[in-house]
A and B are shown apart, each in its own frame.
Chain A
Amino acid sequence: MLSDLVKQEIRSRVDRDHPEAVAVEALHIVRNHYGWISDEMLREVAGLLDVDPAELDGAATFYNHLYRKPVGRHVILVCDSVSCWIMGYESLVAHLTRRLGIGMGETTADGRFTLLPIQCLGSCHTAPALMIDADLHEELDEQKLDAILAQYP
């Protein structure tokens, strides 16, 4: 069940001429509140926007920041594009997967981290880079990364 606050926030964004236009934004709002978008939440959003749930799911499953599965408390988005790859992406990921004991697309058993790949973060001159939640971290090496992970309990 979406909370009244979330429903109110979605309704406030709806453009009367084009209610469907707010689809991506509404799903963002849900994701920001609950971390992910369950089938039930998706159906509720579809109801609020008066759109077909299947079509809304078409959008929800298309965009990589709209999570349709639960994620950990913190999401690590590792840039795997070419400049980061040249500058040490592979050893960075090997270190991360060893340290966290999970592969790409997985969540640690304690629910602390989810590890996901991401397109070029525009940090090519400060590669390798990754984001944790909404924070960008650049010019990484293994030691620096360990210190950064400690900031996300």
Chain B
Amino acid sequence: MERPLTRNFRPDGPFDVKEYEKAGGYEALRKVLTGMSPKQVCDEVRASNLRGRGGAGFPTGAKWAFMPPANGEDRPRYLIVDADEMEPGTFKDRLLMEGDPHQLIEGIVIGGFAVQADVAYIFLRWEYKLAEKRLRKAIAEAYDSHYLGRNILGTDFNLELYLHVSAGRYICGEGSALVNSMEGKRAIPVARPPQQTESGLWGRPTLMNNVETMCNVPHIVKNGAAWFQGLSVCEDGGTKIYGVSGKVKRPGAWELPMGTPLREILEQHAGGMRDGVKFRGVLPGGASTEFFGEEHLDVSMCFDSLAQVGSRLGTGSLIVLDDRTCPVGMLHNLETFFARESCGWCTPCREGLPWIANILKDIEEGRGQPGDLEILEAHTRMLWIGRTYCALAPGAMEPLKSALRYFRDDFERHIRDKRCPWR
């Protein structure tokens, strides 16, 4: 089985530019700059069925095609790579940046050429210090080797790449909030339209993609859309880095065919549950996705099949709940996170999330009241899509909505007995 994204990973640190070239690196970029038009690159990516790996799963080729045609004078055009990985349970982009920084840079230059960008940014979270160090070194090497800067590989294509280190807050992962943050403002989301491809950073055409998405690009260009499609076992193309955390035997991350069954990831790769604990449920794609129970373990982990059974692939990061961990306590942790990370811009999110977190705290600590679950359920409707500027609050409602269904008895027992049975 091919693992294009992680094949260069080495325990003693990433490849430098020479080692990366020796392993076939920057060949895709050379192929693009010496024989392909921007449109041909976009078409190839579109045909590969690559879907955005940041969580939303939007088709990458279609997003690229939203960029207005470049006329050569209306400049600059921007490409921003979202490396602000902060979805609880998610660590795939960290591994990609630490493990093979040149792969990301090559993807950025190819993507930049495809949409005729002039300036690219990697928006990196402050805490990813090792990734920062390795990216800085790799970017400097790429400039020295003429993969970045002016007249890349002797052509007339120019691209500057900057590493922007953020100052924190989960909301920066939201595209329009990220742009505000880059402009030196508070990171609050902006209602769309206009889309960022029309009016993004400084009102200019801006393309934004996730780290894992961009890392796929060189492989698609080098090996073709049909090859990329063949990597997966579902409609979506490629491989996916799936992560597992919680009380399993071997927590970790693995690059597997897109569409690998949930059970295979949990049992074969993560080794199943630790001795003495039983599986109770799993958030399949990070904190802001709906719980799955035992009956869903045979689902194929891809965008469409997870949506069909009522959850989302999200970041493909599985968080496992076991029978020794209180589901109410877990929900309290999740909703406290979302309440703290709300940017405060719109009322349902700013006011609703702390209310939810407080009710969950009361239930967990034995002060639950009859009617609390109905209040929580009302919130899952009032903070839903269409009532807020961005996806933070609806995302926060996904685990809550499903937990109220799956773990109803546990919630009711907390309220009835006025205590948490796990404490």
Contacts and interface: CB of A to CB of B under 8 A. Distances in A.
Are A and B co-members of a single complex?
Answer: yes
Nearest to A19: B184
Nearest to A124: B245
A20 B244 CA distance: 40
Chain A contact residues: helix, strand, loop or mixed: mixed
B360 to A, nearest CB: 13
A80 B339 CA distance: 13
A125 B245 CA distance: 5
A21 B184 CA distance: 4
Contact of A120 (B86, B126, B183): B86
A82 B186 contact: no
A64 to B, nearest CB: 4
Interface string A13-36: 000011011111101100000000
Contact of B243 (A23, A124, A134): A124
A121 B330 contact: no
B186 A62 contact: yes
Contact of B202 (A18, A51, A82, A85): A18
A22 B130 CA distance: 23
B91 A122 contact: yes
A48 to B, nearest CB: 13
B243 A63 contact: no
A49 B184 CA distance: 11
A49 B165 CA distance: 19
Given A119-B88, A119-B341, A81 B287 contact: yes
Interface stretch (B317-325, B388-396, B406-414): B317-325
A41 B155 CA distance: 46
Contacts of A108: none
B181 interface: yes
B337 A83 contact: no
B245 A58 contact: no
Contacts of B245: 83, 86-87, 124-125, 127
B361 interface: no
Contacts of B333: 80-82, 85
B168 interface: yes
Given A82-B287, A86-B247, A119-B86, A136 B94 contact: no
A104 B246 CA distance: 24
Contacts of B317: 124
Interface residues of A, number: 42
B64 interface: no
Nearest to A22: B184
Contacts of B222: none
Contact of A122 (B94, B169, B334): B94
Contacts of B253: 125
B351 interface: no
Contact of B252 (A51, A64, A125): A125
Interface size range on B against A: 35 or more
A40 to B, nearest CB: 20
Contacts of B170: 119
B130 to A, nearest CB: 7
A26 to B, nearest CB: 9
A23 B88 contact: no
A93 to B, nearest CB: 12
Contact of B184 (A17, A23, A85): A23
Contacts of A27: 167
Given A24-B181, A63-B168, A120-B90, A82 B334 contact: yes
Point out which of A23, A24, A66, A134 has the most chain B C-beta atoms below 10 A from its C-beta.
Answer: A24
A65 B181 CA distance: 13
A59 B169 contact: no
B85 interface: yes
Contacts of B198: none
Contacts of A87: 245-247
A62 B186 CA distance: 6
B129 interface: yes
Contact of B166 (A24, A121, A126): A24
A64 B167 CA distance: 7
Nearest to B322: A86
Contacts of A100: none
B127 interface: yes
Given A119-B341, A124-B245, A136-B129, A62 B165 contact: no
B403 to A, nearest CB: 12
A6 interface: no
The 3 closest A-B pairs by CB, nearest first: A23-B184, A63-B167, A124-B245
Given A119-B337, A122-B94, A125-B245, 8 more contacts: A23-B185, A24-B167, A28-B167, A63-B167, A82-B319, A86-B322, A120-B86, A136-B129
30 contacts: A21-B184, A23-B185, A24-B181, A28-B167, A51-B184, A58-B185, A58-B186, A59-B185, A62-B186, A65-B126, A66-B168, A80-B333, A80-B337, A81-B333, A82-B89, A82-B333, A85-B329, A86-B322, A86-B330, A119-B168, A120-B88, A120-B89, A120-B90, A122-B127, A124-B91, A124-B243, A124-B245, A127-B251, A131-B127, A134-B129
Interface of A: 17-18, 20-25, 27-28, 49, 51, 55, 58-59, 62-66, 77, 80-83, 85-87, 118-127, 131, 134-136
